[in-house]
Structure 1
Amino acid sequence: MAMVINTNMGSINAVRILDGTSREQSTSMERLTSGLRINKAADDAAGLAVATGMTTQIIGTDMAIRNANDGIGLMQTLDGATEEVVNMLQRMRELTIQSMNGTYNNDNRMQMDSEVRQLQKEIHRIADTTKFNGLNIMNASSFGSAVVDANFAATSVTELTSAEGFSAAMRFHVGWEHGSANRIPVALMDFTSLSAANSAMRLHLSGMSTFGSAIALASAALSIIDQGLSVIKNMRAYWGAIQNRVEYTISNLQNVNENISASRSRILDADFAKESANLARTQVLQQAGMSMLSQANQQSQQVMSLLQ
């Protein structure tokens, strides 16, 4: 190999290798500082695109889980209020059966009738004031004609389920994308249209003192109350089924969210063990490279011995 002064090939080679080592060291330090393997698109263009799509799905499923939990909260609010309506209807039915007994006089039946009227008013009041996030969920004021009329409600859970697309007043959005497949329809009932709350049921009428007349009034009232209980029990069964469905939906969303997060981590997150080892390697190489660069710069001094 020729001995030259103008071009120090050893030094050029050492500088090139040192430059590469410095870049590797800088990358490892950046990853260890941020905790991310991909800090810019140039680090892994395809990986960044995949991770961005996964991030979109993760954020969407997080919101879908919140939506579904809010839906359960609404269903529980509705079911709790409906439970009180059922309790009042049961009390009204109890009073009706009590009034059929011949041991009570007209004054007693008047007192029973007074309690029935107050319970009817309370059912209306609950229907008008029960709200979830400002939405009235027991009458048609917030959802209009989509709310099922209590007098024409489906008579079975099967009929409700098959008709839910028509009668659904609201839909819980439980997916991270748009489309009907990501929505759960829910039918609501207008409790203000409940016959037991609106009918002029009487257990006593002025001037009516015969036992047979009292039996006729009570029998008519009992039939109306039983109709209301029949409608409500099926609606509650339907709402309970919806709530159970949403709970399974949440479990599935959480499972999807967990696995997508794990997949994104494998693409996006830095492996600290690997990067720490790489940082230590590049630091040693950098020290060795600097030493070799110094040696390469000293080689040109050997030419001087030829000129002495």
Structure 2
Amino acid sequence: MAMVINTNMGAINAQRTLDQTSREQSVSMERLTSGLRINKAADDAAGLAVTTGMTTQIKGTDQAIRNANDSIGMLQTLDGATEEVVNMLQRMRELGVQSMNGTYNNDNRKQMQAEFSQLQEEIQRVADTTKFNGMNIMNASSFGSAAVAATFANTSAGALSVAGDNASAFKAHVGWEAGSNNRIAVAMLNFSTLSAIGAAVTLQSGISTYGSGVALASTALTAIDGSLSVIKNMQAYWGAVQNRMESTVSNLQNVNENIMDSRSSVMDADFAKESANLARTQVLQQAGMSMLSQSNSNSQNVLSLLR
């Protein structure tokens, strides 16, 4: 091998190897610092594209879980207010049954009517003021024609499905994508039109005979029983929807967990592997620097020929 000084191949080779080692060391340090295997597209272009799609699904699923839980909270709020309405209707029915007894005179029925009227007004007030996030959930002011059939005579599964499919109906979006398959429709009930709180439903209205009082109370009981029948059907329906949403949340959480695991296998750095690689490159860097210094010193041997 010729002895030259203009082109030091040993030093050039050492520099090239050192440059490669430094790049590998920089990548390992970057991954150990960030905890990510992919920090830029150049690290793994295909992997970055895959994980970007996974991140989109994860973030969408996270929001879908929150949507479903918010909807469950709305149904729980509605159920709690409905239960209080049922309690008031039951008390109104008690008063109606009491009013039919012949041991009470007209003044007694007026006193019963005073409480009966207050309960009717309170049911209407509850219907007008019960809200979730500013939206009224017990009358048609927020969701319009999403309320159940106007007569409330039909609370069958078919009628509820039709009401829920209405464009203005309440719908919980429980998916990470758009589309009707990612929405759960919930039919609402317009409590303001319950027959039990109608103006014609009364226990005493200027009557003076026992027979007319019994007739009014009987009519009131029929209206109250009809309202209770509708409400109990709606409560069962809302409870079923709530259970469905809880199952939806469980499924979304399972999907989210598995997608995050898949993303981690592509995106996250293996600390054991990267730590070993960092130690390897540090040793190689030290050895490369030593060899570069040795290559540079070899050129000095040419001077001995010139003495």
Instruction: Bin the TM-score by the shorter chain.
Output: over 0.9
Indicate the residue corresponding to 1:48 in structure 2: 48
Residue 269 of structure 2 aligns to a residue whose secondary structure is: coil
1:190 maps to amino acid = N
Structure 2 residues without counterparts, runs of 5 or longer: none
Map Cα deviations across residues 247-293 of structure 1 (whole Å, 9 max, x no partner). 11111111111111111111111111111111111000001111111
**Equivalent-residue separation in structure 2 for 1:282 and 1:204 (angstroms):** 96
Write the mapping of 1:129-148 to structure 2, written as runs, cut at 5 A.
Answer: 129-148=129-148
Map Cα deviations across residues 114-173 of structure 1 (whole Å, 9 max, x no partner). 111111111111111111111111111112222225533523346424653248721111
Indicate the residue corresponding to 2:273 in structure 1: 274
Indicate the residue corresponding to 2:225 in structure 1: 226
2:233 maps to amino acid = N
Asked if structure 1 preserves the Cα contact closer than 8 Å seen for 2:25 and 2:282, the reply is: yes
1:189 maps to amino acid = L
**Equivalent-residue separation in structure 2 for 1:163 and 1:138 (angstroms):** 15
Indicate the residue corresponding to 2:239 in structure 1: 240
Indicate the residue corresponding to 1:170 in structure 2: 170
Cα gap change, 1:92 to 1:187, in 2 (>3 Å): same
Indicate the residue corresponding to 1:264 in structure 2: 263
Asked if structure 1 preserves the Cα contact closer than 8 Å seen for 2:149 and 2:159, the reply is: no
Indicate the residue corresponding to 2:122 in structure 1: 122
Indicate the residue corresponding to 2:80 in structure 1: 80
Structure 1 residues without counterparts, runs of 5 or longer: none
Indicate the residue corresponding to 2:297 in structure 1: 298
**Equivalent-residue separation in structure 2 for 1:232 and 1:77 (angstroms):** 15
Displacement of 1:297: 1.6
**Equivalent-residue separation in structure 2 for 1:18 and 1:45 (angstroms):** 26
Displacement of 1:303: 3.0
The 10-residue stretch of structure 1 (49-58 or 157-166) with the greater mean CA deviation from structure 2: 157-166
**Equivalent-residue separation in structure 2 for 1:7 and 1:84 (angstroms):** 95
Cα gap change, 1:153 to 1:22, in 2 (>3 Å): farther
Asked if structure 2 preserves the Cα contact closer than 8 Å seen for 1:168 and 1:186, the reply is: no
**Equivalent-residue separation in structure 1 for 2:153 and 2:267 (angstroms):** 53
Asked if structure 1 preserves the Cα contact closer than 8 Å seen for 2:31 and 2:274, the reply is: yes
In percent, how many aligned pairs have the same letter? 73
Residue 65 of structure 1 aligns to a residue whose secondary structure is: helix
Count of residues in Structure 1 that have an aligned counterpart in Structure 2? 307
Indicate the residue corresponding to 2:25 in structure 1: 25
Residue 189 of structure 1 aligns to a residue whose secondary structure is: coil
1:95 maps to amino acid = L
Residue 185 of structure 1 aligns to a residue whose secondary structure is: strand
1:145 maps to amino acid = S
Asked if structure 1 preserves the Cα contact closer than 8 Å seen for 2:170 and 2:187, the reply is: yes
Q: Give the TM-score, by structure 1 length.
A: 0.94
Cα gap change, 1:275 to 1:298, in 2 (>3 Å): same
**Equivalent-residue separation in structure 2 for 1:134 and 1:106 (angstroms):** 44
CA RMSD of aligned residues (A): 1.7
2:262 maps to amino acid = S
Indicate the residue corresponding to 1:68 in structure 2: 68
1:206 maps to amino acid = G
Residue 152 of structure 1 aligns to a residue whose secondary structure is: coil
